[in-house]
Structures are given as structure tokens and as C-alpha cells.
């Protein structure tokens, strides 16, 4: 059978060669897929089917089937003759063909196949031709035989009717296979190396750049494929795989922005497709830089105005062990650089301190903390007697004391006579007269204190003493009362006498 088929192919027959050349006249090229499609379409559209002689399996020469068409049809005969002529025409224009003998429930069948080439990735010639066939014939599937040992791919050129309905199935290269239990490939001209077919156009050029050159995690990375191109056509879609599990579908523009959430090395893949379905791929390995971690501490935690605060950023770090730069903004208009800084605040208040750390790759990060410079409280002393005397109960009052940024939580009184109190408004009795220094210290909710000092004069009570003469007076005898022995350190201003005889007291100044 193999010898007979090879004989009946009649490769090199001038009549067949002329026919093949005329069928590809409008499709010049070096063994392109559309030349085979032109031959196939002519054969299918114009074939005149005829049975073999009853009881005989007749294989016609390719030129004989061609002659039977009489110029009105592409040829005449059964499926064997169709396959032989089609294979011979493929060979006549430089293609590589073979005949498949298929045996199934409906009987035997023969059809031709054409060699596409070696299988490969999506940018290979074979895949580009299959994509072109799908697009050209508006189908989702193109049937081929793929030899897993050699990676050779053969395109089905069959044409047959559904045995159940008699309806002609879709007529296009790579149409549905004949349902067969077994298939026997008959290779032609095995002494000549097979020649693969070629796509109609060259694949597009895929190329892209990345900006910035060293992207940072959390920042926008821009991919630019505008330098990609297509000779004789145009790129219609760009598809990105960013290497971190994210990507895009087919997009029409050459630019894409992406944010990497963490630093690492990623392989970015760009797939471009042109207006004829050809694709190409470009990949690039990029490193995403981890930004540094910004941290700092300060002491004291609740400084006072004019007190120096120490800021320390030594807890900041960078995963890549990069040398860091430190920029400080202290919140009062002053700035600084360096890992440690000393800074005083002149006024109380709440300040937002910002630290920005920058690594050697230009990646930066920042953090901030609020620092409260405490305004100390203001202590005010009041008491309820203007000229208190020894023995008087004096009420001391701190209610006019204030704290602008918190509250007063503690009071301490020192009365200057050896006595103290932690009550807010304590009463106090001075046992002796004199000048005393009273201290009030108030403490606010941030443990800041203020002390007010006032001097208080405690009046010593005068000593009352008197004599009278005569010592034993008679009725109606004048008695002289003398209080000159009374005394007071500050002088006696007034003497009041009560003679207990029902008369008003006499007051002498």
C-alpha cells in the first residue's frame, strides 16, 4: 500500500505542478501556510465525488484525478483519490505531506496532512500558524497530530460528511478528525528531509523598560513597552505578568503601572500580539527594593520647656543592610540630620516629630511620634484673714492655681512654723506671732511642679495689765486705774475699760 500510494502521488508530474503553481499564484512566499489553504479550499470547493468500481479498491494517479475534473472541477474520485491529489499538490509547491489511512466504525477512510514544523512555545512558528488559522477561519479549534517523540506537528487536511446526518462538516484546514479506531500514517518521499511551513508574517518585537531602575516596595513601578514593534503590521495587545501573582489581561496600551507590596526579585513577562495573531514574549528579572524601617525613641518622655531632649533612631533598620540617612523634623520649625540628635523646646506644647530614613538605593520611609513639652502649673496662695493673730484659724486657699495643659493633682503646704499639709485647702493656727514664710507646691498630671512663696505676718496678742489706787477706796472716792504696764511688741492702739457698775465701758486710745 505504501509503495502504491507513493507511485500514485506521481510527485513531479508537470500537470500537477502546473495546477499547484496556479493555485498559489496570488499568495507568493516561501512555503507559507496561506498557500496550503488556497490549495485546500480549491480542492474542497470543487471536488466531484465518484465511487470506485464495485468490488475493487482503485487508487488513481494524482494527474489522472486532476484530468477527470475536465477543468470544471478540482478533480474527481473518492476520498483516497482526493487525499492523493491534495498531497501531490502540496508536494508540488514545496510542502511536506503524508496520507493517513483511518479505520473506524463507518469503514476505511484516507485523508492528507501537511507538515507544519516542530512544536514550541506561544511564539513558535507552529503556534503562530495555528493562531492565524483560528482567526482566518473564525474557529476555536484547529486539529493537528502532534508526535510527542519528535515534536513534529501535522495539520489535518480532511474533508468529510457526518455519517449520521450526511451534512458536510466544517470545511477548513484542521477540521474535525474522522472517528477511527486506528490510523496508519503513510509518509511520502522519506528520503527527503521534511520542510516546515512558515507563518505569513514575522512575529512582533517585544521589548520593555522599567522605571525607576530600582523600584521600591510600596511605590509605583511603571512598565513601558512602547519600543515594541511589528514589521508590516501593528501590535494590538499587550499582556503583563508582574511575577508576584498579579498581571493584566490583554490591554491596548503599551504602559502599565504596578505596586509591589514587598521587596524581592521578580520575573516580569510581556506578551505582545500583532494584528495577524502573531505573538512574542519578552521577560526581564527586576529587583524590588525593601524600604527601610523607621523607628526612634526620645528621653525624657515628658520634657519641660528649655530641657534638652535626646532623639535616637538607632532602632531603624534596612533588610538589605544598606547605609541609612536620617532626617529629623522636630515640629517646632527646626530640623536635623544624623542617627542621634539633641534638641531643646523653648515653649510647652504638643509637637509632632517626624523621622525620615533613606537607604543607599533611594528608598525611604518615615514615622512620627507626638511629644508633649509640659507647661508647668502655676501656684497661687490665698488666705482668708488680712491681719491674722496668733491663735486664729486661717484658711489657706490654692483655687487660683492653674495648669494650662493638664490638671493639678497634688498640693503641699509648708507654713513656715514647722508644720506642713497635703490637703488642698487646709486650716492652720499659728501659736505665736511673727513673720512666717508660706510655701505652696502644686503638682500637675505630668508630674511637673511649681512653688509659690508668700510671707505672712502673725500679730502677737498684747499683754493687758493695770493697777489702781487707792488700793482700798471708799464710796464716792475717785479711783485711778493705770494700764501702763500693758505691753505689745507693735504698740497698743486702744484700751477699753469696763467698771462693772452698769455704765458703758470707757475706751481710751
Q: Within 13 Å, how many C-alpha atoms sit on residue 454's CB side?
A: 15
**pTM here?**
0.49
Task: Please give the CATH superfamily to which domain 209-288 belongs.
Answer: Immunoglobulins (2.60.40.10)
Question: Residue 508: pLDDT band by 50, 70, 90 thresholds?
Answer: low
Q: DSSP readout, 180-236?
A: -SEEEEEES-TTS-----B-SSPPPBP--EEESSS-BTTSEEEEE-TT-B-TTS-EE
For residue 115, pLDDT beyond 90: yes
- The confidence score (pLDDT) of residue 362 equals 83
How would CATH label the architecture of 2-187? Answer: Roll (3.10)
- 10 Å CB burial of residue 196 (0-12, 13-18, 19+) is middle
- The confidence score (pLDDT) of residue 243 equals 97
Q: Which grid cell is 245?
A: 501573582
For residue 507, pLDDT beyond 60: no
Contact 280, 270 (CB under 8 A): no
- The confidence score (pLDDT) of residue 375 equals 87
For residue 501, pLDDT beyond 80: no
For residue 174, pLDDT beyond 90: yes
Segment 185-218, tens digit of pLDDT: 999 888 899 999 998 877 899 999 999 998 999 8
Average model confidence (pLDDT) across the chain: 90
- The confidence score (pLDDT) of residue 60 equals 95
Decide: helix, strand or coil at residue 333: coil
- The confidence score (pLDDT) of residue 504 equals 59
Please tell me the distance from the alpha carbon of residue 82 to that of residue 76, in angstroms, as a whole number: 8
Handedness of CA 470, 475, 477, 478 (dihedral sign): positive
- The confidence score (pLDDT) of residue 476 equals 87
- The confidence score (pLDDT) of residue 161 equals 63
Q: Which CATH class is domain 297-373?
A: mainly beta
- The confidence score (pLDDT) of residue 319 equals 82
- The confidence score (pLDDT) of residue 208 equals 98
Segment 318-351, tens digit of pLDDT: 887 778 999 999 999 999 999 999 999 999 899 9
Query: Which one is the CATH code of 382-458: 2.60.40.10, 2.30.110.10, 3.40.50.720, 3.30.565.10?
Result: 2.60.40.10
What is the percent of the chain with per-residue pLDDT over 70, rounded to a whole number?
95
Question: Residue 37: pLDDT band by 50, 70, 90 thresholds?
Answer: very high
Segment 356-382, tens digit of pLDDT: 999 988 888 999 999 999 888 999 999
For residue 482, pLDDT beyond 70: yes
- The confidence score (pLDDT) of residue 122 equals 59
Asked whether this chain's domains 2-187 and 297-373 adopt the same fold, the reply is: no
- The confidence score (pLDDT) of residue 169 equals 65
Domain ranges for the chain: 2-187, 209-288, 297-373, 382-458, 462-509
Residue range 134-143: mean pLDDT, rounded: 91
Amino acid at each position: 500500500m505504501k509503495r502504491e500510494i507513493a507511485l500514485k502521488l506521481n510527485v513531479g508530474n508537470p500537470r500537477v505542478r502546473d495546477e499547484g503553481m496556479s493555485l498559489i499564484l496570488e499568495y507568493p512566499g516561501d512555503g507559507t501556510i496561506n498557500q496550503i489553504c488556497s490549495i485546500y479550499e480549491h480542492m474542497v470547493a470543487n471536488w466531484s465525488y465518484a465511487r470506485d468500481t464495485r468490488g475493487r479498491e482503485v487508487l488513481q494517479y494524482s494527474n489522472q484525478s486532476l484530468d477527470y475534473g475536465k477543468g470544471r472541477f478540482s478533480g474527481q474520485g473518492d476520498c483516497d483519490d482526493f487525499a492523493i491529489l491534495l498531497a501531490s499538490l502540496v508536494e508540488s509547491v514545496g510542502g511536506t505531506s503524508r496520507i493517513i489511512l483511518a479505520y473506524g466504525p463507518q469503514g476505511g477512510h484516507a485523508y492528507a496532512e501537511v507538515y507544519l514544523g516542530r512544536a514550541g512555545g506561544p511564539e513558535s512558528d507552529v503556534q503562530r500558524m495555528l493562531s492565524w488559522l483560528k482567526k482566518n477561519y473564525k474557529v476555536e479549534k484547529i486539529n493537528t497530530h502532534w508526535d510527542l517523540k519528535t515534536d513534529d506537528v501535522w495539520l489535518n487536511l480532511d474533508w468529510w460528511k457526518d455519517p449520521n446526518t450526511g451534512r458536510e462538516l466544517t470545511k477548513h484546514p484542521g477540521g474535525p478528525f474522522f472517528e477511527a479506531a486506528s490510523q496508519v500514517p503513510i509518509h511520502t518521499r522519506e528520503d527527503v528531509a521534511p520542510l516546515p511551513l512558515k507563518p505569513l508574517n514575522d512575529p512582533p518585537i517585544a521589548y520593555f523598560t522599567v522605571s525607576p531602575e530600582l523600584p521600591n516596595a510600596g511605590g509605583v513601578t511603571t512598565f513601558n513597552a512602547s519600543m515594541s514593534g511589528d514589521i508590516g503590521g501593528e501590535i494590538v495587545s499587550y499582556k503583563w505578568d508582574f511575577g508576584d501573582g498579579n498581571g493584566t489581561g490583554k490591554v491596548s496600551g503599551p504602559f502599565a503601572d504596578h505596586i509591589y507590596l514587598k521587596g524581592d526579585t521578580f520575573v516580569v513577562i510581556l506578551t505582545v500580539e500583532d494584528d495577524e495573531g502573531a505573538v512574542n514574549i519578552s521577560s526581564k528579572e527586576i529587583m524590588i527594593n525593601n524600604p527601610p524601617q523607621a523607628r526612634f525613641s526620645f528621653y525624657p518622655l515628658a520634657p519641660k520647656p528649655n530641657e534638652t531632649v535626646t532623639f535616637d533612631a538607632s532602632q531603624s533598620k534596612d533588610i538589605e543592610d544598606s547605609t541609612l540617612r536620617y532626617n529629623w523634623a522636630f515640629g517646632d520649625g527646626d530640623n536635623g540630620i544624623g542617627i542621634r540628635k539633641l534638641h531643646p523646646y523653648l515653649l510647652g506644647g504638643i509637637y509632632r516629630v517626624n523621622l525620615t530614613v533613606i537607604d543607599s538605593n533611594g528608598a525611604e520611609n518615615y514615622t512620627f511620634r507626638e511629644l508633649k513639652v509640659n507647661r508647668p502649673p502655676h501656684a497661687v496662695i490665698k488666705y482668708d484673714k488680712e491681719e491674722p493673730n496668733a491663735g486664729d484659724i486661717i484658711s489657706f486657699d490654692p483655687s487660683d492655681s492653674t495648669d494650662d495643659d493638664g490638671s493639678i493633682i497634688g498640693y503641699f503646704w509648708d507654713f513656715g512654723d514647722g508644720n506642713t499639709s497635703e490637703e488642698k485647702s487646709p486650716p492652720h493656727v499659728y501659736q505665736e506671732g511673727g513673720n512666717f514664710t508660706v510655701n505652696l507646691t502644686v503638682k500637675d498630671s505630668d508630674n511637673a511642679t511649681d512653688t509659690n512663696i508668700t510671707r505672712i505676718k502673725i500679730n502677737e496678742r498684747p499683754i493687758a495689765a493695770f493697777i489702781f489706787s487707792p488700793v482700798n477706796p471708799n464710796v464716792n472716792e475717785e479711783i485711778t486705774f493705770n494700764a501702763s504696764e500693758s505691753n505689745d511688741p507693735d504698740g497698743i492702739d486702744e484700751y477699753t475699760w469696763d467698771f462693772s457698775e452698769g455704765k458703758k465701758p470707757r475706751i481710751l486710745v
